[in-house]
Amino acid sequence: MKRIAIVEDEKNIRENYADLMSRHGYHVDTYENRIDAISAFEVRLPDLAIIDIGLGDEYDGGFMLCQSLRQLSATVPIIFLTARDNDFDTISGLRLGADDYLTKDIGLEHLMVRISALFRRIDLMQKPTNQNNIIQRGLLTIDSDKMQISWSKQALDFTITEFWIVHALANRAGMVRNRQQLMQDANMVVDDNTITSHIKRIRKKFIKLDPGFDEITAVYGMGYRWDISQETEL
């Protein structure tokens, strides 16, 4: 049974979400503040963390919790579920390593679809390794079975969502993929701004390892493309 952690300071909201997810077959742990949540995560990581941004007296407590959780695990899925609906908070949340950013006006069934999609991608990690699931694009290596991405034989830490965006681009290298196609290829349900924020974060991770990285190209008005110029060098 998948274990979901809900970190929400309003009791009624916390209990309503917990009841919903329990009825869908998940084990749910709830926390009303950052301190209790991170203490529990240090003992046992959840399979998914759903976090509000404002937690009690901590206006950005959820952001702080996300940072702490990312230090414990680079891959545990994190969803922000908050009333704060603005581009600054959305971008901030995704830059901190969240897989998704949702507002509390989302429909309950839509929320469960987003959660199911994340778990489906995680389940792929349990499949036996198959060499047909290795993608090589120049200095890039993607192992779909192990959910691992390497650049110049050095492993990179990506969230579940970031992994599948890179996979979707590299799997069709040289072709422009619009945002809708990226969502379909990566089995995601996210909005355009979320895709843009993830692309920016992905680029930064590659550039941190290789300042000369320029394989992801934005094609104005169309989408993104994984360039294949370095394949000829190998």
User: What integer pLDDT is reported at residue 106 of this predicted model?
Assistant: 87
* Residue 74 dihedral angles phi and psi, to the nearest 5°: -85, -10
Which residue matches tokens 């206006």? 59
Q: What is the chain's mean pLDDT, rounded?
A: 87
pLDDT higher than 70, residue 125 = no
Is the pLDDT at 126 greater than 80? The verdict is: no
Confidence label for 107 from pLDDT (cuts 50, 70 and 90): confident
**Segment 145-169, tens digit of pLDDT:** 777 899 998 989 888 788 889 999 9
**pLDDT at residue number 188:** 64
Task: Reply yes or no on whether the pLDDT at 143 is more than 60.
Answer: yes
Beta pairing class for 216-219 and 78-82: unpaired
* Percent of the chain whose pLDDT exceeds 90: 53
CA 83 – CA 99 distance, rounded (Å): 17
What is the structure's pLDDT at 51?
97
Helix (H) / strand (E) element for 207: namely: helix 192-209
- Per-residue pLDDT tens digits for 69-104: 999 998 899 999 999 988 889 888 888 889 888 889
User: How large is the average pLDDT for residues 166-193?
Assistant: 82
pLDDT in tens, 24-38: 999 999 999 999 999
For residue 109, the model assigns a pLDDT of 84
Q: DSSP letters along 133-195, please?
A: GEEEETTEEEETTTTEEEETTEEE---HHHHHHHHHHHHTTTSEE-HHHHHHHTT----HHHH
